[in-house]
Amino acid sequence: MTTFNAFWVEKEDKKIDHRVVERSVDDLPSGEILIKVKYSSLNYKDALSAKGMPGVTRNYPHTPGIDAAGIVEESNTENFKKGDSVIVVGFDLGMNTSGGFGEYVRVPSDWVSPLPSGMSLRDSMILGTAGLTAALCYGKLLSMGAKPGDGPVLVTGATGGVGSVAVSLLSNQGFEVIAATGKDQSHKYLTGLGARSVISREDLEQEDSRPMGSPKFAHAVDTVGGRILTNVLKSLSYGGSAAICGLVASPSFDVTVFPFILRNINILGIDSVELPLNKKTMAWEKLAKDWQVKDLERMVKEVTLEDLSLEIERIFNGEVMGRTLVVL
């Protein structure tokens, strides 16, 4: 019987307890692929699950971790064989299926992407769901005709995982990036990733009753929602697009139709959870080749399973910048 270590979240009424426990592979859910996890990453959704927040994980005890990269240990499908390097992000992993904060996961084969040539397992999890989401935002902007000559691209929540990768990716592709953040100490970090300039989150949160403002940004990647997204949409140039993928400020925003019918702007919704596997795999291939992010080491902090409780608190305290790599 194979045993392994896992980060274990127990919930009784409103009391939450975290610890690292020994589990058996036999206790994992059914699925065609058993993966020995080498790396995972800590995301905001993992922190919500670890805090017992409703809407992410229904049943406890539970092992979070919406990302996992590792080596196939067992396979009941022709698509993968023992020894293959693979990536799993999204779907139900780490939500209600035992996730990447354990040394093994067992998942359906249609959740699994092969590790693309030119990308290491470690780099795939520095990127993780955040990097995949940033790539999907970038791809959507390109699909609407975005190009560097259009003008500056705003990235909100720029010190977060999605924001950090988006800043680096857009900059590497020749776009002028304006990074928005509420962390005053992060300017050097963001310019190091390629941001041309950094603006304060407070500047984008100002209440403005006008239906439109002056055009400031050609396009945007928004990770926060709320009033910031409202003001971003009012400030897009003619034909501009905003790829939206987050709601840490608010899931709601308030805007009239005027920017859409007078400036021809576009809202592009991004989903990296239930996105079909072939599209996820295509995005990983792009990140390994044409869309390589060259600044991964600038944005990563490595932690172990034993460190996760502290890192989860740091996420909720707004103390985390970039990506948190979980080394198993």
What residue spans define the domains of the chain?
3-115+295-327, 130-269
**Residue 135 confidence (pLDDT) above 90:** yes
Give, for 36, the enclosing helix (H) or strand (E): strand 33-42
203-227: average pLDDT: 93
Q: Packing angle between helix 121-143 and helix 161-172, nearest 10 degrees?
A: 70
Predicted pLDDT of residue 183: 86
In sequence order, what are the beta bridge partners of 301?
324
Predicted pLDDT of residue 13: 82
What span, in angstroms and rounded, lies between the C-alpha atoms of 124 and 140?
21
**Residue 23 confidence (pLDDT) above 80:** yes
Among positive and negative, which fits the CA dihedral 245, 65, 310, 130?
A: negative
**Residue 96 confidence (pLDDT) above 80:** yes
**Residue 1 confidence (pLDDT) above 80:** no
**Residue 318 confidence (pLDDT) above 90:** no
**Residue 2 confidence (pLDDT) above 90:** yes
- Mean of pLDDT over the chain: 96
Predicted pLDDT of residue 221: 98
What span, in angstroms and rounded, lies between the C-alpha atoms of 154 and 235?
10
Give, for 229, the enclosing helix (H) or strand (E): helix 226-234
Predicted pLDDT of residue 213: 93
129-150: average pLDDT: 98
* Percent of the chain surpassing pLDDT 90: 91
136-153: average pLDDT: 98
- The pTM of this model reads 0.96
Buried b (16+ CB within 10 A) or exposed e, 42-64: bbbbbbbbbbbeeebbeeeebbb
Predicted pLDDT of residue 207: 84
Local confidence band at 65 (pLDDT 50, 70, 90 cut-offs): very high
Predicted pLDDT of residue 152: 98
Predicted pLDDT of residue 209: 87
Predicted pLDDT of residue 249: 83
**Residue 46 confidence (pLDDT) above 80:** yes
Residue with tokens 């971790």: 65
Local confidence band at 184 (pLDDT 50, 70, 90 cut-offs): confident
What would the pLDDT profile of 73-94 be if each residue is shown by its tens digit? 999 999 999 999 999 999 999 9
CATH class of 130-269: alpha beta
Predicted pLDDT of residue 61: 96
Both tokens of 159, joined, read: 């010190």
**Residue 248 confidence (pLDDT) above 90:** no
Q: CATH classification of 3-115+295-327, choosing from 3.90.180.10, 1.10.357.10, 3.90.1200.10, 3.40.50.2300?
A: 3.90.180.10
